[in-house]
Structure 1
């Protein structure tokens, strides 16, 4: 048994890891449920290790789609808000904003507490966000976009 642990430890150190900052409400117990339910693959991107509580990431450390649970829940907004449904019909309302400085896309759940933020780097397809619907649905929906 010791030999297995001795081999596993060095291999774990080689896994890609990205440094993220925990969101203000990352300690919400539902965040643990959400992060445990996220898929190992997001579109064609493999999951990588994220450093902070209630976070997840996919891709490479240089170009990662990141998720942070426990961000400030957004109030009413004039930003684009759309319901995105997956193949099962499960729908999540997302506020979608393109950052002018970086060109990255930021998706934030609307009407759910805790709120979840997903950052998609410029040049990466945001279509994979639909793969997070099931996990994000652990937070009950209290409001809708429209």
Structure 2
């Protein structure tokens, strides 16, 4: 009987150690906006081969470890000179994103941890959506996650679009 209990305890410990802890993120100031619930429901269970993880925050989701994170309900950025990318999902859905640099004062604290990350915030949508992609998860393709998320993110209506220097 003791041998069976030990085996059961070891099996339980192995199963529990395989469970990743929920990702802790601060909520966005507009996280209670009803459109955020629709956005989260529309996000994929698997993003770029990474399985969905739970979070401790309303209007947020995550994939993989280290986690690619999405927070809906962050404050929309105002006019900016930061680099703006228009990402097309291939089905005609295009979303404009501002790419924040590592020294940007608007860079969220959770994006400053670890071995570096790419941080993107939607431009021209209210509420805004933030996606943080750890460098080790994407290699040279940080916008691949944005392509896969375009359908869900486009549920927030675009009110403005990025303009280039030649568009003024």
Aligned length: 134
**2:82 matched residue in structure 1:** 79
Structure 2 spans left out of the alignment, 5+ residues: 1-14, 104-111, 164-168
Matched, 1:93 2:93: no
Runs of at least 4 residues off by over 6 Å: none
SS of 2:161 mapped into structure 1: coil
More strand per residue: 1
- What are the superposed Cα offsets for residues 5-64 of structure 1, whole Å, 9 maximum, x if unpaired? xxxxxx89x74221121111100011111111111111111111111100000002xx11
User: Quick one: distance in 1 between partners of 2:79 and 2:19?
Assistant: 40
Q: Which is greater in Rg?
A: 2
Matched, 1:29 2:29: no
Q: Displacement, 1:124?
A: 2.4
**2:122 matched residue in structure 1:** 109
**1:138 matched residue in structure 2:** 155
TM-score, normalized by length of structure 1? 0.84
Q: 1:111 to 1:18 in 2, by over 3 A?
A: same
TM-score, normalized by length of structure 2? 0.74
